[in-house]
Chains A and B, each alone.
Chain A
Amino acid sequence: MNLDAPFVAEPRHESAADPERQPKARLQIIDGDVHPALRTPADLKPYLSQRWWEHFQTWGGRRRSGMSYEPYPKSQPRASRRDAWPAEGGAPGSSLRLMREQYLDAYGIEYGILGPLGLTGQSEFNLDFAGALASAVNDWQRESFSVPEPRLKSAIVVPYDDGEAAAREIDKRADDPAFAQVFMLTRSQEPAGRKRYWPIYAAAERHGLPVGMHVFGASGHPYTGAGWPSYYIEESSGHSTSCQTVVTSLVMEGVFERFPKLKVVIIEGGFGWLPALTWRLDKLFERMRSEVPHLKRRPSEYIREHIWLTTQPMEEPKDPRQLLDVMEWIGWDRLLFASDYPHWDFDDPFRAFPAALSRERLQQILTGNGKAVYRLA
């Protein structure tokens, strides 16, 4: 599909093999956002009953009109690094061989936490079909990635708009060490703290699994509070507002009071917005507490205790000290490295962070925090 990039010699050595990186490569990196892809939808066929495969062949998926599965080209073809197309064909992320060569081995990744997007059942209107697809995607991740490559941990994709079915899927997978997190998207049908989603949080807490909230979601809600913007650049920056909705709703609905051991990871929304949101919520709480009497503590305390964020796509202020200030404020134990491989806004673990970040802090973000959050049995 990469038709406009003509003949290219194989690089003599990929950038990951730079000598300057070798000492740091001893850090055992945990990556909170790696995207596997189907070669074709038929990859799911072995994991769907005949009833649902025929349904898919006959009726297809039903999402809000115009919400496509295919992010093409979206900045780069299929929203992916142009060097991530497998020679054997298929989309970026569909070849375990290339993922190993280009990413896992080249960078010394200890664990990559998978997050499937696209044809996963999430955002399907037919909730029974959504549940069948989500379960099939979980089987497919396990068999195609986590079993042959134990460094890759699958996500329990849940049909989150059907909370009970989602909880059943979590219960079904929870004892399987191939799975390291529960996986939702930020633009759900209702704000994430609403009661329809509580069975998911109950199941995640019960099994000690974090809930990853990845940006996107084809619920049909626009990226902004005023409808659909013109540009992809607005969509990209708008993801952070959907993350703010998630955090605010989880706090205000009392989810963290009800599920005191719940861990939530915000994925791919950046993090620079969190301090300002938290300050505002605390200020409002002091004035409006009686509206939400179920909250026993300030919003900032729930956020500090329950919310983690992946770092990609990193904010890149001209003065890196400002970024370090923000990171310090959020907490060095709350930030998790993520690459978003193979997508175009990939963060390289050795180049994404400001040079002024100490090795100790870097190690925490690249390794230590992931070990504390994910179930990496």
Chain B
Amino acid sequence: MPRHVIARAEDLPPGTRKLVHVAGRDIVILNIKGELFALSNKCPHKGGSLARGKLTGLVLSAEPGTYQYSRAGEMLRCPWHGWEFDVRTGRSWCDPDRLRLMNYRVSVEPGAAVAAGPYVAETFAVTVEDAYVVVETR
């Protein structure tokens, strides 16, 4: 399970995102209200870059004339054709089994732990005082 250091935690505050290239993959890291998500960047429908997608809520309806709005900011909508993906599972709403994003483990680790390894931090000078965003590739 290679673990990659991709940012200083303070450089990825809530409401921001970052597109990174690790282990041959493009991965979009999202900080949604302090919670981190890491998903493959390429839309499995036709290849749009999800790093450019809008975060929306999930609107559902039990019957015509009613609606329930939930999961504010947890659906990532492709910037091209608008396919909706659940950031928690990577699955698309309309075809969840066939069209899904890879979903990576991502966490914030203290600099001391990162410095101790075993992490891949090619582009970062790690200091023990800082915290780092770490994504795990399978």
Contact = CB atoms under 8 A, between A and B. Distances in A.
A and B associate in one complex: yes
Contact of A9 (B15, B18, B42, B82): B18
Contacts of A352: 46
Contacts of B52: 5, 8, 81-83
B19 A12 contact: yes
Interface stretch (A147-155, A255-263, A340-348): A340-348
Given A5-B54, A76-B82, A344-B82, A83 B26 contact: no
A351 interface: yes
Interface size class on chain B is 20 to 34
Given A75-B82, A352-B46, A11 B53 contact: no
B46 A83 contact: no
A83 B82 contact: no
A83 B20 contact: no
Nearest to A77: B54
A286 interface: no
Given A6-B16, A6-B17, A346 B80 contact: yes
A191 B32 CA distance: 51
B47 A351 contact: yes
Nearest first, the 4 A-B pairs at minimum CB distance are A82-B79, A83-B52, A12-B21, A15-B47
7 contacts: A4-B55, A7-B17, A8-B18, A15-B42, A81-B48, A81-B79, A83-B49
Interface of B: 15-21, 26, 41-42, 46-49, 51-55, 79-82
Given A7-B16, A344-B81, 9 more contacts: A4-B54, A6-B15, A8-B51, A9-B18, A12-B19, A15-B42, A81-B79, A345-B80, A351-B46
